[in-house]
């Protein structure tokens, strides 16, 4: 095992090496320009510091990207996560406001009702996507495009075109509070991702997903229930988006149907590809995705610490996407290697 | 293929039988007519020539962008950067015009820049074998980001040429008239239809969409055509941006938000398969008109909110995708 691992290190095909190095480099740059960046202190009963901030802000993205990883591993893609996030946030806000108006106590049961309503709405969206992909056999990008376009409309319809302000304090704590000193958003995201990782490790699900992603027909012939697994992955992805919707709306104490989670589908796909998961399916890395989400958030933090105008955020992101794609492309790698060997040979001669 | 079909049909079959490939287009046209009739019956004043022409005037930029998008989708690719490129075009135009550059210089320049932008994406997709979705996604980030780097505020265009073009109306019969943007749109759709169906470029595009490997084996210029398709889409997006500057009289990074989705929706509703190889430029034109009619109907109704538009577009997308899917199944059964 360790022999195989070291061989992989030597040949440079260790999948997590490059993303981890990129994250380390970004953190180092941040620490260089802002000396307090890596300092974590205990203040006012909770952890505080730039790193905690980055983790807290990366939590919703990490959640959405984790769900997206499974879908992409199955050769699919889910571009409706932003819309699902908005729907879940709107449903949660409507339920929590409705119930707190009835009983101003703002106790636990209302929160539980709101959360389950939001997650149920998200699961329904996932089921819809899964039905279109598995049942109707549509291309994943088209199937989820439908919900991406219509979903925001539905969320606006639910919200009556308004931004819903949330007054419930315990709901707002989900996005702003701390559990044992750690931001609740980070705890929630970590718990869900850990649960997913354990499920993948301890069951054959990981193997099944890789098999379906590599070759769906062969997997089906081998007796894997590809349809059921694909369907559950879309539902899980939507559930992750729903959780993120709750976290995002709790953080800003309001649900904005038209702008909540805008472009998060793109950030999530970016996080997944940054983590070394191939869009062609079959090979995926959940840890890589988490690193990818952290890279994106650290990059945003870096733009602020460097004092670069925040408008450049998109340009930097685009540059990183292009660089990562080029580095991942086998064609480009082959070309670079050929160039390198030619260079070495030229120096030798 | 098309030459072989009539011979294969049984003798005495009615000549009017629809070719299976034309079914989506026929459904699209039928839907447009149905929507128009519903509008005409329900709302007085809907069936005037000017309302019909306004459909074209209000959606001129979408027509232009959708035409370019049709070519990309016909090759089996996708271009998510069109909205951002259009916004960047409005921004660059506004900045150059503020420096008192001549509009007659600015417009060709931004068109060239658009083609170049698309072309570079095409090179990345073709030479480096990257996924169109990811490359144009990065292109979208980059173009929108460049807009904000230029300015986060809207820049007003005060050049008299743009004001004159915006007010210019080309009169048609019965006091109805068309704008310059609408004329440009008609021109682009016409040129696009010619390019797709009567040129070597168009034939290669269809061949690539059918099977890229076969097109390569046939010795078709696959590489240059793929780059050309993305350059064409970029140029169309830039022209769409120019039409937007006529309408808006300003450059702004948030112009044309979501334009790429509307364009893709119009192309799919127009009967073009997202996996490439089948579809028509004219279909996309009809698709744009359908989107326009839905918007107009919602405006005429007055009680429906704007978010119904998105739901309606989503429902239409779904219906057409399912139709294509059914058709794909039917077609495969026939050939087996």
- Most A CBs within 10 A among B81, B258, B314, hence the mutation to make, goes to B314
Catalogue the E-assigned strands of B244-309.
Answer: 250-251
CB contact under 8 A, A315 and B146: yes
Beta carbons of B291 and B265 less than 8 angstroms apart: yes
A331: nearest CB among B128, B134, B309: B128
Distance CA A231, CA A145 (A): 17
pLDDT for the residue numbered B9: 45
A151 CA: distance to closest CA in chain B (Å): 7
A150: nearest CB among B268, B314, B325: B314
CB contact under 8 A, B127 and A331: yes
Is the model's pLDDT at B334 over the cut of 60? no
Lowest mean pLDDT among A257-271, B10-24, B248-262: B10-24
Q: What is the mean pLDDT of residues A284-304?
A: 87
Residue B156 dihedral angles phi and psi, to the nearest 5°: -75, 140
Closest chain A CA to residue B84: A314
Report domain extents, chain B.
Answer: 22-161+179-327
Instruction: Write B200-206 long-range contacts (CB < 8 A, 24+).
Output: B201/B225, B201/B228, B205/B71, B205/B74, B205/B75, B205/B229, B206/B74, B206/B277
Beta carbons of B67 and B188 less than 8 angstroms apart: yes
Q: What is the mean pLDDT of residues A239-245?
A: 93
Is the model's pLDDT at B300 over the cut of 70? yes
Beta carbons of B229 and B205 less than 8 angstroms apart: yes
CB contact under 8 A, A329 and B131: no
CB contact under 8 A, B314 and A273: no
Q: Does B265 touch chain A (CB under 8 A)?
A: yes
Q: What is the mean pLDDT of residues B79-85?
A: 93
Is the model's pLDDT at A346 over the cut of 70? no
Torsion of CA A179, A182, A184, A190, to 10 degrees: -120
- Most A CBs within 10 A among B125, B134, B316, hence the mutation to make, goes to B134
Lowest mean pLDDT among A133-137, A204-208, A345-349: A345-349
Is the model's pLDDT at A239 over the cut of 50? yes
- Most B CBs within 10 A among A80, A84, A153, A296, hence the mutation to make, goes to A153
Using the structure block, give the residue that is written with the tokens 């390019």.
Answer: B195
Ranges A99-103, A199-203, A317-321, most confident: A199-203
Q: Does A279 touch chain B (CB under 8 A)?
A: yes
CB contact under 8 A, A329 and B129: yes
Is the model's pLDDT at B5 over the cut of 70? no
Q: Tell me the ipTM for this assembly.
A: 0.76
Of residues A210, A197, A251, A154, the one with CA closest to residue A67: A197
Q: Does A162 touch chain B (CB under 8 A)?
A: no
CB atoms closer than 10 angstroms to residue B4? 8
Q: Does A332 touch chain B (CB under 8 A)?
A: yes
Residue A38 dihedral angles phi and psi, to the nearest 5°: -90, 0
Distance CA B65, CA B83 (A): 9
Cα angle A289, A290, A296 (rounded to 5 degrees) comes to 90
Please give the structure tokens belonging to residue B331: 């077609």
B258 CA: distance to closest CA in chain A (Å): 10
Q: Does B266 touch chain A (CB under 8 A)?
A: no
- Using alpha carbons, list the distances in angstroms from residue B225 to B69, B206, B306: 14, 11, 39
Residues 135-174 of B with CB under 8 A from A: 135, 137-142, 144-146, 148-149, 152
pLDDT for the residue numbered A18: 78
pLDDT for the residue numbered A191: 93
A154: nearest CB among B128, B141, B311: B311
CB contact under 8 A, A153 and B135: no
Query: How many contiguous H segments (helices) and E segments (strands) does chain B have?
Result: 15, 4
Average pLDDT along chain A: 83
Q: Which residues of A touch B223 (CB under 8 A)?
A: none
Q: Which domains does chain A carry?
A: 52-307 (1.10.3470)
CB contact under 8 A, A138 and B325: yes
Is the model's pLDDT at A45 over the cut of 90? no
3-state secondary structure labels for all residues of chain A: CHHHHHHHHHHCCCCCHHHHHHHHHHHHHHHHHCCCCCCCEEECCEEECHHHHHHHHHHHHHHHHHHHHHHHHCCCCCCCHHHHHHHHHHHHHHHHHHHHHHCCCCCHHHHHHHHHHHHHHHHHHHHHHHHHHHHCCCCHHHHHHHHHHHHHHHHHHHHCCCEEECCCHHHHHHHHCEECCEEHHHHHHHHHHHHHHHHHHHCCHHHHHHHHHHCHHHHHHCCCCHHHHHHHHHHHHHHHHHHHHHHHHHHHCEEECCCCCCCHHHHHHHHHHHCCCCCCCCCCCHHHHHHHHHHHHHHHHHHHHCCCCHHHHHHHHHHHHHHHHHHHCHHHHHHHHHHHHHHHHHHHC
Ranges A39-48, A84-93, A181-190, most confident: A84-93
Q: What is the mean pLDDT of residues B227-250?
A: 93
If phi > 0 it is left, if psi is from -120 to 50 it is alpha, else beta; for residue B313 that is: alpha
Q: What is the mean pLDDT of residues A107-111?
A: 63
DSSP state of B304: S
- Split at pLDDT 50, 70, 90, the class of A99 is low
CB contact under 8 A, B138 and A322: yes
Q: Which residues of A touch B330 (CB under 8 A)?
A: none
CB contact under 8 A, B141 and A309: no
CB contact under 8 A, B275 and A139: yes
Lowest mean pLDDT among A122-131, A262-271, B173-182: B173-182
Please give the structure tokens belonging to residue A17: 């090496």
State the helix-helix crossing angle for B160-167 and B222-248, rounded to 10 degrees: 90
- How many CB pairs lie under 8 A apart between chains A and B? 127
How far does CA A165 lie from the centroid of its chain? 25
pLDDT for the residue numbered B6: 46
For B154-203, give the DSSP string.
-EE---HHHHHHHH-EEE-STT-EEEHHHHHHHHHHHHHHHHHHHSHHHH
Distance CA B240, CA B83 (A): 9
Q: Which fold has domain B22-161+179-327?
A: ABC transporter involved in vitamin B12 uptake, BtuC (1.10.3470)
Average pLDDT along chain B: 84
pTM value surpassing 0.90: no
- Split at pLDDT 50, 70, 90, the class of B328 is low
């Amino acid at each position: 095992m360790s022999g195989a691992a070291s061989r992989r290190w030597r040949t440079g095909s260790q999948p997590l090496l490059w993303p981890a190095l990129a994250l380390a480099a970004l953190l180092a740059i941040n620490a260089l320009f802002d000396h307090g960046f890596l300092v974590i202190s205990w203040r006012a009963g909770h952890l505080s510091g730039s790193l905690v901030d980055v983790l807290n802000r990366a939590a919703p993205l990490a959640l959405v990207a984790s769900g997206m990883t499974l879908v992409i591993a199955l050769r699919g893609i889910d571009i409706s996560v932003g819309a699902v996030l908005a729907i879940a946030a709107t449903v949660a806000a409507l339920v929590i406001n409705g119930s707190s108006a009835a009983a101003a106590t703002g106790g636990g049961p209302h929160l539980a009702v709101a959360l389950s309503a939001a997650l149920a709405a998200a699961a329904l969206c996932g089921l819809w996507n899964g039905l279109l992909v598995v049942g109707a056999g549509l291309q994943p990008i088209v199937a989820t495009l439908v919900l991406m376009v219509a979903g925001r409309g539905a969320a606006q319809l639910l919200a009556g075109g308004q931004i819903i302000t949330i007054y419930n304090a315990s709901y707002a704590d989900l996005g702003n509070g701390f559990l044992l000193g750690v931001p609740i958003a980070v705890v929630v995201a970590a718990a869900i991702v850990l649960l997913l990782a354990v499920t993948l490790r301890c069951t054959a699900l990981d193997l099944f997903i890789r098999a379906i992603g590599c070759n769906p027909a062969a997997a089906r012939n081998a007796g894997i229930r590809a349809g059921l697994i694909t369907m559950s992955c879309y539902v899980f992805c939507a559930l992750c988006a729903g959780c993120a919707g709750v976290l995002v709306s709790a953080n800003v104490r309001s649900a904005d149907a038209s702008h909540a989670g805008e472009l998060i589908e793109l950030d999530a796909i970016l996080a997944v590809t940054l983590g070394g998961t191939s869009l062609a399916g079959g090979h995926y890395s959940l840890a890589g995705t988490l690193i990818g989400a952290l890279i994106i958030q650290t990059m945003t933090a870096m733009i602020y610490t460097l004092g670069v105008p925040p408008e450049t955020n998109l340009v930097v992101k685009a540059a990183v996407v292009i660089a990562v794609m080029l580095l991942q492309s086998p064609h480009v790698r082959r070309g670079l290697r050929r160039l390198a060997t030619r260079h070495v040979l030229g120096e030798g001669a | 293929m098309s030459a072989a079909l009539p011979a294969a049909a049984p003798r005495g079959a009615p000549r009017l039988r629809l070719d299976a490939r034309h079914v989506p287009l026929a459904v699209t046209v039928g839907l447009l007519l149905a929507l128009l009739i519903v509008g005409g019956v329900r709302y007085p004043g809907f069936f005037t020539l000017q309302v019909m022409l306004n459909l074209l005037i209000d959606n001129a930029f979408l027509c232009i962008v959708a035409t370019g998008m049709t070519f990309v989708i016909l090759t089996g690719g996708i271009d998510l950067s069109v909205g951002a490129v259009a916004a960047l075009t409005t921004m660059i135009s506004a900045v150059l015009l503020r420096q008192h550059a001549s509009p007659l210089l600015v417009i060709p320049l931004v068109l060239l820049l658009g083609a170049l932008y698309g072309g570079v994406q095409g090179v990345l997709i073709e030479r480096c074998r990257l996924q169109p979705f990811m490359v144009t996604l990065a292109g979208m980030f980059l173009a929108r980001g460049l807009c904000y780097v230029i300015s986060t505020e809207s820049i007003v265009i005060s050049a008299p040429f743009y004001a004159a073009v915006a007010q210019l109306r080309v009169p048609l019969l019965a006091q109805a008239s068309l704008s310059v943007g609408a004329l440009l749109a008609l021109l682009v759709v016409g040129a696009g239809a010619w390019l797709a169906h009567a040129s070597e470029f168009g034939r290669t595009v269809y061949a690539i969409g059918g099977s890229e490997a076969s097109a390569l084996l046939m010795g078709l210029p696959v590489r240059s055509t793929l780059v050309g398709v993305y350059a064409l889409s970029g140029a169309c997006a830039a022209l769409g941006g120019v039409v937007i500057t006529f309408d808006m009289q300003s450059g702004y990074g948030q112009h044309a938000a979501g334009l790429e989705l509307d364009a893709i929706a119009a192309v799919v509703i127009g009967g073009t398969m997202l996996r490439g190889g089948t579809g028509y430029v004219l279909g996309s034109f009809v698709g744009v008109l359908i989107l326009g009619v839905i918007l107009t109907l919602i405006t005429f109704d007055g009680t429906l909110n704007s978010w119904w538009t998105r739901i309606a577009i989503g429902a239409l997308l779904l219906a057409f995708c399912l139709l294509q899917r059914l058709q794909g199944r039917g077609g495969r059964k026939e050939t087996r």
